[in-house]
């Protein structure tokens, strides 16, 4: 029987991701859920009733101290994540953490340096988009299927994040004391990473617009749109919003000189299609999913700790901060 990696889940604030991990660990494919820690006894009781784990606790330090836990999944709010990750790394644990991983670049740098010094994997879920579909699209782009890449467009139109799966109202995502930004980077930080991954290029210059279109009382924005210029000449436009109420939709276009790759949740269920002079063709992608923890488990097996994979997340965070600086100053900002 293959060895199972012991998982300790700390924090249920980012429940969207936490439930994905709970579902994955419940299947037992190479992983075992040892413990869950959270500050809410009500949330702990709910997940314990549905998912098998050795124990739950209100003290995350118990989970980090448990010798059976090899990988800590830190999914509390961004402010608290920094302390959890720091303690886990000091204890020699590998870590997969919430996005963004920190509220400042200085905090991110300190965690990365600690991970590298301890020989531990530190990985953030903003890199989750580097999956099978994106790998296929990247290969197509590199083969010249759409010709020379010209531009990239992405819009995600969604509502306010829920504090819990069955509740609405204020959440940590909208609390400026717990997060560094609001609607735009909440989703755009995934897109920034995908953008860099697809084109194998870095963002050089950005321009952003940030606003509150619907929820004017929030301390963080509910709308943002940014233009990013990459080192390979591709111009990207990323628009993300919480203004949609209960409805959710997103679409992406990758434009080249000889064709377009188009993904639209409302039209094609998000499946990519290729549009060229020969017509429209659905792009075949593998249905099999490798799992949310697959990237960090692979890094652990390979001993990939230096340079830390979190350096990619640090780049994503720096690009996001540059967009907000542009929005404040009204100027283009070089990254």
Examine residue 326 and state whether it is found in any structural domain, yes or no.
no
- Whether 48 is in a domain gets the answer yes
The secondary structure of residue 142, as a DSSP letter, is H
Residues 139 and 55 in one domain: no
Q: Are residues 53 and 168 in the same domain?
A: no
Question: Which residues are CB-neighbours of 97 under 8 A, at least 6 positions away?
Answer: 73, 74, 75, 81, 84, 85, 122, 123, 124, 125
Written as one string, the DSSP assignment of 29-80 is SSEEEEEEE-S-HHHHHHHHHHS--SEEES-HHHHHH-TT--EEEE-S-HHH
Give yes or no: residues 117 and 157 share one domain.
Answer: no
In a shared domain, residues 241 and 176: yes
Same domain for 178 and 41: no
Euclidean distance between CA atoms 128 and 117, whole angstroms: 24
Q: Give residue 144's Cα distance to chain centre.
A: 28
In this prediction, residue 319 carries a pLDDT of 98
pLDDT tens digits in sequence order for the chain, 335 residues long: 457 999 999 999 999 999 999 999 998 879 999 999 999 999 999 999 999 999 999 999 999 999 999 999 999 999 999 999 999 999 999 999 999 999 999 999 999 999 999 999 999 999 999 987 899 999 999 999 999 999 999 999 999 999 999 999 899 999 999 999 999 999 999 999 999 999 999 999 999 999 999 999 999 999 999 999 999 999 999 999 999 977 788 999 999 999 999 999 888 788 999 999 999 999 988 655 568 999 999 999 999 899 999 999 999 999 999 999 999 999 999 99
What was the pLDDT predicted at 131? 84
215 and 148 together in one domain: yes
Say how many domains are in the chain. 2
Q: Distance (Å, rounded) from C-alpha 49 to C-alpha 32?
A: 17
User: What CA–CA distance (Å, rounded) separates 307 from 309?
Assistant: 6
pLDDT at 2: 59
Identify whether residues 96 and 152 lie together within a single domain: no
The confidence score (pLDDT) of residue 287 equals 54
Residue 20 CB coordination number (10 Å): 17
Q: Among the three residues 126, 160, 184, which one is the final residue of a domain in this structure?
A: 126
Whole-number pLDDT of residue 247: 74
112 with 144, same domain: the answer is no
Specify the pLDDT at position 309: 97
Q: What pLDDT is recorded for position 1?
A: 45
Residue 40 is assigned to a structural domain of this protein: yes
Domain that holds residue 85: 5-126
In a domain, 169, yes or no: yes
165 and 93 co-located in one domain: no
**CATH code of residue 146:** 3.30.360.10
Question: Which of 192, 153, 214 lies closest to 322, judged by CA?
Answer: 192
Give pTM, 2 decimals.
0.96
Q: Provide φ and ψ at 329, rounded to 5°.
A: -95, -20
Specify the CATH number for the domain of residue 81.
Answer: 3.40.50.720
Residues 112 and 172 in one domain: no
310: in domain: no
For residues 223 and 245, state if they share a domain: yes
Helix, strand and coil in the chain, % to nearest 5? 35, 25, 40
> Has residue 20 been placed in a domain?
yes
The answer to whether position 327 is within a domain reads no
Asked whether residue 260 falls in the same domain as residue 151, the answer is: yes
Domain boundary residue, one of 75, 96, 126: 126
Please check whether residue 299 lies inside any domain of the structure.
Answer: no
- Among 126, 143, 161, the domain boundary falls at 126
pLDDT of 243 = 95
């Amino acid at each position: 029987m293959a060895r199972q990696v012991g998982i300790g889940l700390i924090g249920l604030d980012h429940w969207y991701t936490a439930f994905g991990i709970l579902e994955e660990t419940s299947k037992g494919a190479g992983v075992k859920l040892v413990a869950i820690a959270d500050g809410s006894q009500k949330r702990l009781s709910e997940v314990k009733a549905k998912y098998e784990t050795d124990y739950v606790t209100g003290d995350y330090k118990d989970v980090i101290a448990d010798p059976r836990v090899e990988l800590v999944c830190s999914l509390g709010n961004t402010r608290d994540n920094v302390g959890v990750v720091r303690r886990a790394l000091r204890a020699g644990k590998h870590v997969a953490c919430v996005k963004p991983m920190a509220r400042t670049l200085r905090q991110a740098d300190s965690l990365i340096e600690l991970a590298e010094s301890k020989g531990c994997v530190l990985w953030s879920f903003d890199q989750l988009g580097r999956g099978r579909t994106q790998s296929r699209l990247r290969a197509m782009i590199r083969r010249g299927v759409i010709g020379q890449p010209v531009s990239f467009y992405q819009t995600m139109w969604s509502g306010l994040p829920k504090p819990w799966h069955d509740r609405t109202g204020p959440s940590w995502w909208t609390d400026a004391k717990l997060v560094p930004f609001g609607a735009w980077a909440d989703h755009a930080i995934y897109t920034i990473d995908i953008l860099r991954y697809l084109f194998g290029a870095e963002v050089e210059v950005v321009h952003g617009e940030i606003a509150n279109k619907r929820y004017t009382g929030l301390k963080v924005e509910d709308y943002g749109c940014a233009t990013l210029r990459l080192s390979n000449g591709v111009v990207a436009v990323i628009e993300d919003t919480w203004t949609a109420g209960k409805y959710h939709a997103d679409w992406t276009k990758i434009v080249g000189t000889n064709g377009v790759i188009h993904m639209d949740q409302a039209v094609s269920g998000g499946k990519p299609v290729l549009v060229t002079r020969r017509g429209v063709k659905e792009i075949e992608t593998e249905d099999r999913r490798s799992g949310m923890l697959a990237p960090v488990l692979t890094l652990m097996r390979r001993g990939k700790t230096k340079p830390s994979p979190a350096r990619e997340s640090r780049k994503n965070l720096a690009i996001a901060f540059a967009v907000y600086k542009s929005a404040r100053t009204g100027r283009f900002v070089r990254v």
